[in-house]
Chains A and B, each alone.
Chain A
Amino acid sequence: MANKRFLAFIIFIFGAALGWYIFNGQMAGLHPFKLGLDLSGGTQLVYRADLSAIPDADASDSMEALRDTIERRVNLFGVAEPIVQTQKAGAFAGEPEERLLIELPGVTDTQRAIALIGETPVLEFRMLRENAEIPENASTSTIAAAFEDAAITGKHLESAQLQFQGGPGMANEPVVVLNFNTEGAEIFERMTRENVGRYFGIFLDGQPISVPVIREAIPGGTAVISGGFAPDEAKELARNLNYGALPVPIELISTQTVAGTLGDEAVRDGIFAGLVGVGAVALFMLLWYRLPGLIASLALLIYIIVTLALFQVIPVTLTAAGIAAFILSIGMAVDANVLIFERMREELASGKSTHDAIQEGFARAWLSIRDSNISSMITAVILFWFGTSLIKGFALVFGLGVLVSMLTAISVSRTFLLALGVNAKGSFSKFLFGSGTRI
């Protein structure tokens, strides 16, 4: 028993230290809780990438390039901790597609967020079809009819720069020079060699800006766009291309914006509801299960501390649904204790000593606890798979809660109970181990 007391003491110290660690981590900003967009305020945009012009084998490369480009763009605008992710989705709507998910914390004006992304130009290269003429008015359909995709794409672009070029007797004209990467340089050289005499179109945001004739193979991986630019125009184009031209066109399919004030309110209400919930559960356990109930409440406290610490350290992104899951898990964390204590009471009633009753209670309740927690884990895993990012927050907190509570409700409360070393022979200790309305 001395062992158990020592262990119980260690758990107490550990709990207190961990509690301090969480508090300090939050206050000093060392490892604060990570809040989802619905709590911190911000905008989430989801785009569908149009990969129809890209061969399947290059799809994931293009998506990577797209993500990097947007990321550069977003960072340029000084958004703190943005998230840019590619997703494969749509299988359940019957048409698989590649998506780009962008989270911009702190940007609470949807239109501004869209503009931020939208200013990124889409650079495309197309070859004029044999026997086709350059269409006079450029629309999506006329362009599609006259041009075919070229082997080189926007993702092969490494950098762009502004230069002035002039022939003899001509004023210097601003041009934009495109520098391709190594792979792009090879492709470009092969493509130009094989297509001498054909027209090669350079498109920006779907509009042809320059359609030169290929006169000879071009080695070295550079191409010149001379679109009759004003100097400022050319400068801006070069800059935009440098910050990143999109390798594939994207289309906005979903937005979500939450104002910071609403998030603050949700956090405040969530914490308050959580505190009241913990209080109500602890009070109930204390009134119904008395001494073991007190132990369960202490174990619950340790559960809360451990889980919160995990949220900070992993870190788990907390959403309103995640907070709800945590509050729900507080009510479920003591379930194992209820099962154990009821079992203990039965064992006591059958004439066993307190020590044996405690041991038996834990051992016999274990099967039910294990089985019911497995069913919760099944749900958590499926929810994680089902969910959008907000629901994933719920599933993660829920699953984590089930696991941690199994640990605290069983090991911690058992150590505490055995450390007490009460022997329920006297009427007072019988009262302490009794439950419900019986005295």
Chain B
Amino acid sequence: MIIIRNRIIFFVISALLALGALGALFTYGLQAGTDFTGGSLAEVRYEGARPETSMLTKQLESAGFHGFSLRESGDNGYTLRAATLTDEQRGNLASILSSETSVANISQLSEVGPTIGVELRNKAYVAVGLVLLCILLFIAFAFRKVSKPISSWVYGLIALVTLGFDVLIPLGFFAVLGHYVGVQVDTLFVTAILTILGFSIHDTIVVFDRTRENLRINEEKGRREDFAETTGRSINQTFVRSINTSLTVFLTLVALYILGPVSTEYFALTLLVGIIAGTYSSIFLATPLLVVVERWRANK
């Protein structure tokens, strides 16, 4: 009940978080990765100490590379981002990135043509839209028997609002990371966002499901209860399980982030941020919004 009674406070917190994320998104923007922009990305490792950046930059320039970026990665490697390579550049890449004392091993190289990039980007937008639409339809369908005091479409729409919040937070987070650490947004990031959409709806469904059940029991017993009261009770009853279901996923993701493969490091981080946002929003945003809509309808 504390949550419903103090919903204004949580609305303010949620709004501040969302505005912060939006602000970061508009100020910094996301750093689109090679997957989306086209171009090439190489991971290089050295047996011994890595050569100086300035030296490699000179060697790259004389090999005809323009507008590339060379960043240190790990203890003894570099990440090179550049335009699509010519045959010659590709063939000599290892020697261009080597010095007399340290030999470069190319551990990963990917090149993406511009059409593939554009296609993937458009597909990502469509995929996110499609997931949102399907979830809206599904919730409206699953809750179709609950029409009093508010229609099942409202449950679906509110679920969408909280999903928007769950996605906005990691987007803002990665805008900040992109600006300060140069982290780029790639296909895996989009995968993480889609996974967040699918997962963070779980907790919202659990709370809504309990509200649905409590409304039914009230009706069966002919009990009159304020809607805010019913929803508040539902949150209290499901609070522990919302936290615990997220906690188990949180535990595995922390393991994946800290110990897992380098290639899925930021993927795990995106999921972590999204799942924290999702748990928060399903408890502190979804049901309070339900109450607001109900009040607003009642006053009309």
Contacts and interface: CB of A to CB of B under 8 A. Distances in A.
A100 B119 CA distance: 16
A426 B266 CA distance: 49
Given A111-B90, A259-B107, A262-B108, A328 B195 contact: yes
Contact of A285 (B138, B248, B255): B248
Contacts of A276: 255, 259
A69 B252 CA distance: 46
B241 A386 contact: no
B13 interface: no
Interface residues of B, number: 71
Interface string B216-251: 000000000000000000000110110011011111
Contacts of A374: 138, 142
A331 B260 contact: no
B123 interface: yes
- What DSSP secondary structure best describes chain B's contact surface? helix
Contact of A320 (B126, B245, B263): B263
A219 interface: no
A374 B202 CA distance: 10
Contacts, number: 221
Given A114-B87, A258-B107, A331-B253, A375 B260 contact: no
Interface string A87-130: 00111111101000000000000110010000000000000000
Contact of B187 (A323, A371, A391): A391
Interface string B253-294: 111101111111001100100000000000000000000000
B191 A387 contact: yes
A164 interface: no
B25 interface: no
A335 B245 contact: yes
Interface in B3-50: 43
Contacts of A331: 248-253
Interface string A249-293: 000111111110110011101101110111011001100100000
B194 A379 contact: yes
B264 A321 contact: yes
- What DSSP secondary structure best describes chain A's contact surface? helix
A386 B205 CA distance: 25
Given A339-B245, A375-B201, A379-B194, A284 B113 contact: no
A237 to B, nearest CB: 23
8 contacts: A38-B263, A258-B107, A323-B264, A342-B244, A374-B142, A379-B194, A391-B188, A391-B191
Given A48-B113, A383-B194, A398-B195, 18 more contacts: A92-B126, A93-B119, A253-B113, A255-B110, A261-B105, A262-B107, A262-B108, A270-B260, A321-B191, A327-B260, A331-B251, A331-B253, A371-B209, A375-B201, A378-B134, A379-B197, A385-B127, A386-B190
Interface of A: 38, 46, 48, 89-95, 97, 110-111, 114, 252-259, 261-262, 265-267, 269-270, 272-274, 276-278, 280-281, 284-285, 288, 320-321, 323-324, 327-328, 330-332, 334-335, 338-339, 342, 346, 364, 367-368, 371-372, 374-376, 378-380, 382-383, 385-388, 390-391, 394, 398, 436
Interface of B: 43, 87, 90-91, 105-113, 115-116, 118-120, 122-124, 126-127, 130-131, 134-135, 138, 142, 187-188, 190-191, 194-195, 197-199, 201-202, 205-206, 209-210, 213, 237-238, 240-241, 244-245, 247-256, 258-264, 267-268, 271
